[in-house]
Each structure stands twice: as structure tokens, then as C-alpha cells.
Structure 1
Amino acid sequence: MSITRGVSGVQLGHRLAQLRESCGMKQAELARKVTWSQAVLSRIEAGERPISDEELATLLKAIGSDEAADLATVLDRDWQHLPRPALDHPEQHLLWRAEQMTVTLEGAGRLPEVPAAFRTRLDEYVKEIARLAALLLRREHQVAFIGSIGIGKSTAICRAMNLEITGPQGHSMPVLETGAGGVTLCEVHLSRGPGHGIVVEPRTHDDIRSDVEDFVDHIMQSRPSGADEDGTPAVPREIERAIRNMAGLTVKRIKGADGKTVRTDPAKQLMAEFPARRDLVVEVLTRMGLHRRDRRDEWHSPALTATPLEWMKSTFEQINNGRHPEFSLPARLDLILPDLLEIDDIDVRLVDTRGIDQPAGRADLEVLLEDPHTVSILCSGFNDAPSASIQHLLQRARDINNTQIDSNASVLVLARPGEALAVKDEAGSRAETAEEGYELKNEQVLNAFTPYRLGGIPTFFFNALEDEPEGLRTFLRERVTQTRDEFQRQLDDVLDRTQFMLDNAEQEQVQAVQREAGRLLATWIKQHPTPAPLSGHVHDALLNEIERAHAASVNAAVRRDGEWRSLSYTHQLGHGARRAAVTTLQAWVTGFTDLCQTLSDPDSMPEASELLSQAQQLMSTAYDELLRKVQLTGLTLYRDQLREDPQFWSDNAGEWGQGPGYLNRVLGRNREWFQQPQRRDLEDQLAAVLEHEWRTVLERVEAIFGQA
């Protein structure tokens, strides 16, 4: 049988080219060493020509590196349970160890004399190995920058990634459009690719129509300040700017004979021509010419006179402001670059999230905070670090037991010139250097994170105008590498514990101690059979977010049946359901963990430490699965009823434009809706799901005890 089984010719050819290039060997040089034509070798590396075992051995010997010698072993592996990793996967050998252990566990579980509880332990280890291996197999990671508007996130990203051009005055200018907030239409992703390009994921026509309806309502209300009841813009200014540019309705400012500037608004003039709301919406949409805006990507060409970064900056600004005639309003912008944050064998994407304009639990940000493959860089300005918006996100993460922030969250404090030197020590003396100012401020920042149990969170200070960017690049690389290291550590730990279990399965003393530990844990389980009634209400989280939101954000959400980028009803209700479950169960889960740790102490039951570790890990994993299911259940239950009640949304939408007190009126309508009997029934259903899932957790944990 060929040792290349299970591997495509393209994958093998690509790996051979990698091994050759890593040795600094040209294709022609390798071809001469093996006495082949370069054309033959080229076809092999392209995957166009099959290669025999003998030919492969000849090539690997000619390349001569340790990695090349290792490739034959890697190819000979027969993967039965875990997916075969790519040939260049950096954790190839650890994953193979996981595959071999899975084979051993599966085989042990099939033996007829194996007790049921021990077979369950084997099965749970198989599941845990598969879960951790899946984390390690995936090599695509994100670094997401999260923070308030106008603090310099985009500028810092561009500075760190060398995405700058020289401006007219000789100053460096970032490629991403920057300002004091309200600049970027959407989330911006930066990733590696074959050249310099921009890829656009457009907003749906329904979303654009809703945006235009908001804009038309804003125009027709004719508020002198252009603001809503709480003084904020009735339409996000970046969206209004793009709609005006796309529809040719840009405000004109002309100086009169008296030297004063006269402001002319073509949208107001258009309203006089189309006084009916529906007609005006149709006219604006028609002028935007969405049917012509069907382009999805654009790439820099060497034929252009502009440099790649100059072209990218100009094109990005055109698309972001609605000035490019071929692109629609973007839901997401991807900037493709040949060089980015390079980490060996890892694909890293940077995400410049939309700035936070108020402390809020935004769905797009909280999804990133829960993703194990996303490093969340929590950004704050120097003087207010950590900002209220960051602290709000962390509090909400703790409320739902999002433990991902413990390993994947880091802090970036963005300083401006002079701010670090203004910091005073305890004696009232100012910092003498920026580094000293950073150290003093760092103590304050870490103290502020203590309530969120993040006192040791990695923190970096950066002044984009004065500091060298390599320090920030190194910090970001270390954060991604740390995530990978944690995946490896967890898998290594599970494999070690599994081997320990197998090695000691026959020892009577170990079995006796494990039975006693199992008895104590089983007693604990019997004492905690049914969760207490849910505390508070599922909709409390939603009402809290409505209360703190801008009126314009709430209006935008109710006009879209509860789904707006800054306020999602279903996300908040899912969050509320999960928070209720955490409030009900967290103390019990913590108590179980404490009991396991106490029993595994060297002075107590060290022989049972592996069993207790498995029980503790199983409780943690099953509890996390329970929380996710409760979150999804809460979201689904309420989403269906919200969709089926158009009158609710109509009544809420009707409160807009009725004068001060808009938020209070909407809150009143929402409270009344959630207090209706059919909505209280939803909480009863959720409580039943929670009780059932908790019993399932206890059954899974209890099933691993009692081995003979």
C-alpha cells in the first residue's frame, strides 16, 4: 500500500514544496539532485503528477531536513477516529497521540468484562479528547479589537501592521479611515491573501430599505438638531452619509455674498417633491441604484500609478462612504494583504469591530468574547482605562459564566502624547518617563479588573504616534500563541490522565479509594437534584439594555422586529436565560469543584485524583453545554412569539416622535408584553428545560463512579 494514503496529490505536493523552500533550495536545484527534469518536479509539487513511494523517498532524502525525514512517518499514519491533520500542522504528533489514545480507549471499552461505570469513563474521555483535538486542529484564529468609538483602535491597528501612507504634510496616515467616531459603516477584517484587495459582503436589500426608511423618517420629522429624544442622531451618521452619497443627496454649503455659509439639503427639497413617506423611500432607493451596485471585490493592479496602500486607502474610503458607484452598502469589509501578523503555521485574521458608542451588550461583540479561537483585545483610552463599556461587557460575561475571557481576553491601553507623563505616584510626583507612567497606570488598570476576577489580565500600553509598533506586534503574537499553548496543555493533560487511568485500572487499592470518592460525590449529587426556581425574569437583561440604550438604537430595533446591530432582542433574551441559569446553578457547580479538589488533596485521597479530575472536568464541560442550551432555548422560545406579534412592534414604533419620554414609554409597553400569561408560560418552559438538563448533567457525572 502507498504511504500517501488519505492524502491528495495537491496536499502532498504543497508540503514537498514547503519542505524544499524551508531549506532554501530552489526547485531546479532539487531536480538536479534527484536527476529529474524540473518540469516533472514542478508537476509533482502542483499535485498534477502522482508520485510513487520510491520517488517520494528519493525526494525526501535529497531535501535532507529533519522535517522531510519525518514526513514519511506522518504519511504512514492511519487515522480512524480524529480527522487527519494537514501535513504541515504544527501539532501533528500531539494529535496522533490523541488518535492512538482514542483507539486504545475504544478497544478497552469493547472488552466484555469491563464494568459499566468504567466503560462510561472511557466514553467520556473519548468525547473530551475529540473536543480538545478539534480546538487544536483548527488553525484559523482572530484578533478582535473591541472598544469605544474615537479612542484610536483603527489607528493602532494600522500602525502595528504597517498600514500607513505618507500624507500631504509628510505625516503618516492610516489606511483605515479614522476620525472621532461614526466613521466606519461596519466591521472590518484584515487577512492574508495573494495580493492587495478589498472584498465586500453587502447588506441585504431588506436591511438597506430599513436604513433608508430611518433616513426618510429623520428627514420628514424636520428636527432642527437632527436628533432624537435623548439628543443623539436619529440615524447613525455613517449610514446617513453613505445613503446621501449613494443617492446624490449630499448637503451643499455655499458662501453667500455676505460671507455667511448657506446650507442646502437636497433631501429636504426631494421631500417637497415626494411628500408621502412611501414615495420618498422608493425615490431614495431608486436614486441609490442598488441594481447596478453588484460588485463584491476589487484588487490592486501593478498598472495603477498609486501604490498598493494608497489605492487601498482611497478605495476603502470610497466604499465606506458610499461613493464607489459599483459597491452597495457593506455589512462587512475584508482587506486582503500579502503580509499581516505572521505566526508560523497559523492563519490570523484581525477584526476592527465597530466602536462602542454606549455601554451595551452587543451581540457581535459578545459572540467574539465566547469564541475560543478569538483573542479579544479590550481597548480603552489612557485616562479612562478600563472604560465603562469594557467593564460592562466583562460583567455581562461573568453573569453568564463565560470563562473564555480568562484565557483569551487582553487589554490594550491607547495613550496619546503627554498622557503617561501626567500620571502621579502615591506621593504625588509625576512620572519622569512614559514607561514609568505606563507602570503606574497599569496598577490602576489591574485593580479595576479585580471585581471581574481578571487581576492578572495581560495588558499593553501603546502610543501610536510615539511608540515603536514592534512591541504591539509581539504582544499580539504572544496572545495568539498563548491560546494555542492552552489548547495543547489541556489536551496533554487529558491524555496524561487517561494513561494514568489505564495504567492503574487493575490496582485494588486505587479502585477502593476511587469507590469511596465516588460514594462521596454520589452523595453530593443526591443532595442537589433539582434547581431552585429561576431568580428574576428572563427579560430583565433586555429591559436593562433598553434602559441604558440611545433612543435611536431602540427605535431602530423595534422598527426591525427587534433585530438591530446595537440592540438585538433575541440575543438579550438568550443572555437573560443563561444568566438566570448561572444564578441558579453556579454555587452548586462551584461547590462540586471545591469538593473534588478537597478530596484529591495529598492528605485525603491522592489515589483518586485522576477520577476526581475527570469528574471535575466533566461537570465543567456538561455545565457549559447546559448553559449554551438554555441560552439557545431562551432565544428560540421568545423569538417565535416576537415574530408572531406584529402589533407589538407597531405599537412600539408608534411611540417614536411623540416627544420626551420615548424610552419610558417603550419600556412600559415591553414590561406589559412580557408580563402577559403566555410569556410567563415561556419562563415555565425554560425552567423545565433547565431542570431536565441539570438532571442530565448529574446523570453523566454519576455514571463514571462505582467501577469495580
Structure 2
Amino acid sequence: MLKLPERTREEIWFEETSNQTEIEWLKETFKQINYGLHKEFSVPQRIDIIVPGELFQSSPYELQVIDTKGLDKDGTAVRRDLMDCLNDQRTLTVLCSSFEDAPSSEIYDLIANLIQTGSEKLLKERVIILVLPKNDDAYKGNNETGEPVDSKEEAYSLKREEVKRSLKPLLKQMNVKDIPILFFNAIPEEDNPSDVARMLIEKLDKLRSTYVQRLSSSVEAINILIRNQKEKNAGEAYEKVSKSLEIFLNDYHKKTLSFGSIHQRLLIPEMRKTRSGTLRATIRRNGTLDKFDVYFLLGNGSKSVAWNATMGIFHELKGILKNLSGDSLVKEYAEGFITQILANWDEWHQEFLTYSEQISEQVFRPTLIKSPIWDKCMFIKGSGFRNDVIYAFQVWFNAAEQRHLHDLLNSQIEKAWQEKVLGKLDNLIGNSTTASS
């Protein structure tokens, strides 16, 4: 009915002869294309907008703004497109919420997932919450005494504290004090957009300086290692660090990780929360839907399981290194070496978690996508649809026929832990011992 063969156009530009302003034309044209109402354009997966002016006047960087599909109640907040942005180290993610709902349940769920998958650094450095009051939303609330708020500033301050209180139970699980919270009302006389733009640029500046500082620290640690390699005291300091880490490694090389069921970690809980209509649409597509991707949720569940299995070990090494830093000899001669180990430890662990996520999709997808379970679930009707679908998936994952998939996944994650994390730490200690002897 859309007559797709006739919809071949891919570009459109504003014409100076238009009787609309640029922004009016952009708004109307975007709406037409986005909803498939423009007869020359097919329904898009992505729309690129090129504007003649700078979006951020004060920015020293060349920036792109990515507007993803909104966080809505139709599907899960743990989506592939969102996680791709969140995991990009060059991207600052702005999570938007209405004033009344802030922080929305979708933002809460997303932050909870980031914590469950070991994304502490991401939350610290690359996430902002933007609260968007509409019209007079900010003036409708009351202060602590029950009186109406006196000003926009008071309303914003009260809402900021409310958001912080809501997130505190989550953030206390990790070493994250607060997530920055900004406010913007689009009514011209309310808030100045340049103020929000300036704060976003400041956050980008801070993000960039953090990476520069880490790089500088790594270079300095290597230079100190080179300068100190003939110093007797330096050799003793490096030896003390290496011996402590060898004991740590010998202990954990012999221990196998303990994993849980990846489908129970995220997929099944998200099925319980997602609307039945979204679940039906996913089943019709054998598990691949933008709003609810079964294979991505399995991968994210695998990442969460891997983090849960290694979280204690991850923090234990940090504790060992912190204690070693208190030794006067180590502090004087090997502090840079410890800094380098910590930086590598964080990086290796994140690489391991990312691998755990990716390998899960590779292991389960070929079998699950061809499984009869999709046809079986298509025939489920009635008010018990969701529960019956969940039961069918639990039976499928727990069946003896799938045992080899679970075993293969666990063995691959275990192998990655030994090689991508412990093995690299082994090599680093070996290299340091050679350099200092």
C-alpha cells in the first residue's frame, strides 16, 4: 500500500523560494519523512540533518548530535541503539525526562543495567540527565513546608534533590556520587538554550581532559620505569609489587568462575515488564525488534553475569594495589607502575565484559532464530499470553538440547577471562620484572 518502488528519493534541501522559514520547513519535512507520509521517501531507519550554522556556538570541537528513539514504555530501556551510544568513549549521553516523571522509570532501569554490567566509569564520565519542564510544570509543585514554590530556581533545586534521592540506592552500589542533572524549558522566556549548550561543552571538555590525563599518566609511568630500571631500590619496589600480584594470579588462575543463567538475568525480567503488543511483534520477527531484541538482551545478560562473576576479583586487585601504594618504597619508586596496572586492569576488564556480551549472541542466535519456539508462541492467545510466552522460553533455555550452548558460552567466557585479563596481567608483571632486573 505504501508503493515502495515509487519511493526512491534519499535527499531533500530547503529552497530559498519556500514560503516557510527554515525551521518551519525542517519541522514539517522531518515529520512527513519520519512517519512515511512523504510519497517520495521510504520509511527511514535513520535521518541525517545538515544545518548551515553551528549547533554549539562555543564548541571547539566538530560535533554530531544523535537523537535516538525515545525511552518509552512499549519496550525495554536496554536497547542496542542506546547501548551503542553509551559504550562509545567519544559520546556524551544525555538521558531526557519530563519534569513530572524525573527520573523516569526507563532512565532508572537503564542506569540499573549499567551498574549491573560494571559500567562505573561510563556513569561517572559520559552520562547526563536532562529534565524538560513543559509550560508551567515547574511551578506546580510545593516546597518542604507545603507552600507553592516561589521561583523556577527553587522548583529546579527541589526536583534535582528528588532525582538524586531516587538514584542514590543505585549509585551507592558503585563509586559514583552523582550524575549531573540539567534543566531546560523550551519556552523562550524561561531558559536560555545557550546555557545548556555551554554546560554540555564543559562536560565534553572534562571528558577530553580525563583521557588526556590518563594518556599523560601512562607515558609518565613508562618514563619513570625506564629511568629507574638500574636503581636498586626501584628494583626492590617493582619486585614487591610483582610478588604480591603473582600470589593473586596463582590463586585465581586455579579457580573457575561461577556463572548464572543468562536468560534469567535480563531477558525474562524484561519480558515480564514489556507490553504484550511489543512482545508479539518481537515473536513475529523471530526475536529481532528495535524495541525488544531478544539476542541483544541475551548478550547484555551475559555481560551482567560475567561482571557478577568477576566483580569481587576486580575490586580485590584494586585493594591490593591500594595497600601497596601505602608502602613508602613502592610509593617512591613504583607508584607510576601501579597507576599503569590500574589503567590496564580497567581496560582489560571492560574488553572482557564486551566480549562476554558479543559471544553470547554468537552462541545462541543461530540455534534460537531457527527454533520452532517462535511459531509455537505465535499461536498463544488470551490474557495469559505473556506468562505462557515466558514459560515457553524458560522451558527452551532449560532443555537438555540447549545444555551444550550454555556449556560452550561458559567455557568461552572462562577462556576470555584467563587470556584477556589474567593472562595480560601475567605478561605485564613478567615485562616489569625483566625491565627492573
For normalisation by structure 2, the TM-score amounts to 0.91
Aligned to 1:411: 129
Aligned to 2:97: 380
- The amino acid across from 1:570 in the alignment is Y
Residues paired across the two proteins, number: 419
- The amino acid across from 1:649 in the alignment is W
Instruction: After TM superposition, list the pairs within 5 Å mapping 1:567-646 onto structure 2.
Output: 567-601=292-326, 603=328, 605-606=330-331, 607-645=333-371
Question: Once the 2 structures are TM-superposed, how far is the Cα of residue 350 of structure 1 from its aligned partner?
Answer: 1.5
Query: Residue 349 in 1 paired to residue 75 in 2?
Result: no
SS in 2 for 1:564: coil
Question: Once the 2 structures are TM-superposed, how far is the Cα of residue 345 of structure 1 from its aligned partner?
Answer: 4.7
Cα separation, 2, equivalents of 1:480 and 1:613:
24
Kept in 2: contact 1:513–1:605 (CA 8 A): yes
Aligned to 2:182: 460
Aligned to 2:52: 338
Cα-to-partner distance string for 1:547-582 (whole Å, 9 max, x where unaligned): 111111111111111000111011011011111111
Kept in 1: contact 2:156–2:183 (CA 8 A): yes
SS in 2 for 1:348: coil
Provide structure 2 residue ranges, at least 5 long, that are not aligned to the other structure: none
Aligned to 1:523: 247
SS in 2 for 1:380: strand
- The amino acid across from 1:366 in the alignment is M
Cα separation, 2, equivalents of 1:550 and 1:348:
36
Question: Once the 2 structures are TM-superposed, how far is the Cα of residue 300 of structure 1 from its aligned partner?
Answer: 1.3
Cα separation, 2, equivalents of 1:345 and 1:519:
47
Alignment RMSD: 1.9
Cα-to-partner distance string for 1:64-99 (whole Å, 9 max, x where unaligned): xxxxxxxxxxxxxxxxxxxxxxxxxxxxxxxxxxxx
Query: Residue 671 in 1 paired to residue 389 in 2?
Result: no
Cα separation, 2, equivalents of 1:345 and 1:419:
34
Aligned to 2:107: 390
Query: Residue 366 in 1 paired to residue 83 in 2?
Result: yes
Cα separation, 2, equivalents of 1:314 and 1:428:
43
Cα-to-partner distance string for 1:332-371 (whole Å, 9 max, x where unaligned): 1222111222455522111222122225322221222211
- The amino acid across from 1:574 in the alignment is G
Question: Once the 2 structures are TM-superposed, how far is the Cα of residue 502 of structure 1 from its aligned partner?
Answer: 1.7
Greater RCO (CA < 8 Å, at least 6 residues apart): 2
Question: Once the 2 structures are TM-superposed, how far is the Cα of residue 518 of structure 1 from its aligned partner?
Answer: 0.8
Deviates more, 1:581-590 or 1:609-618: 609-618
Question: Once the 2 structures are TM-superposed, how far is the Cα of residue 601 of structure 1 from its aligned partner?
Answer: 2.2
Cα separation, 1, equivalents of 2:49 and 2:423:
49
- Picking from 249, 252, 267, the partner of 1:542 is 267
Kept in 2: contact 1:581–1:690 (CA 8 A): yes
SS in 2 for 1:531: coil
If each structure's strand is expressed as a fraction of its own residues, which one has the higher value? 1
Cα-to-partner distance string for 1:655-685 (whole Å, 9 max, x where unaligned): 2xx2211111111111111111232221111
Aligned to 2:2: 288
Percent identity of equivalent pairs: 26
Highest Rg: 1 or 2?
1
Cα-to-partner distance string for 1:436-472 (whole Å, 9 max, x where unaligned): 2212221222232223324322211122222222211
Cα separation, 2, equivalents of 1:468 and 1:525:
55
Aligned to 2:233: 509
- The amino acid across from 1:332 in the alignment is R
Kept in 2: contact 1:369–1:405 (CA 8 A): no
Query: Residue 650 in 1 paired to residue 361 in 2?
Result: no
Cα separation, 2, equivalents of 1:410 and 1:463:
16
- Picking from 276, 279, 294, the partner of 1:554 is 279
Distance 1:385 1:603, change over 3 A: farther
SS in 2 for 1:341: coil
Cα separation, 2, equivalents of 1:653 and 1:457:
42
Query: Residue 469 in 1 paired to residue 183 in 2?
Result: no
